[in-house]
Amino acid sequence: MDRLLERAILELLERRAPTATICPSDAARAVYSGEGDGWRALMEPARRAARRLVAAGKVEITQGGHPVEPAKARGPIRIRRAR
C-alpha cells in the first residue's frame, strides 16, 4: 500500500500543472478500492508516503502555500512537486 500511495501522489501531480498541489486525500481516494468513505483510513498512510517522497526530493509538503518541514506540519497539508 505504501508504494501504491507514493505512485498515486506522483501520478496525480504529473497530471496537473507544474505548480499545482494535491491533498493527501486525493491519493487515498485514488488507491482505495472499496465503497463509501473507507479511504479515510488511508489518510495517515498517504501523509507518510508524502513524507517519504519529501525525503527523496520528489515533492514538497506545504501549508498556507509555503513549504514546511514534514515533522513540523500540523493540520491540513498540500503536496506539490519539488521546486
* Confidence class for position 3, pLDDT limits 50, 70, 90: very high
pLDDT of residue 55: 97
Measured in whole angstroms, the distance separating CA 40 from the mean position of its chain's CA atoms is 13
- Residue-wise pLDDT tens digits, 15-42: 999 999 999 999 999 999 988 999 999 9
Distances (CA, A) of 42 to 6, 21, 28, 37: 12, 19, 5, 10
Q: What is the pTM of this model?
A: 0.94
- Asked whether 76 and 63 are in contact (CB, 8 A), the reply is yes
Length reported for the chain? 83
Q: What is the residue-averaged pLDDT of the chain? A: 96
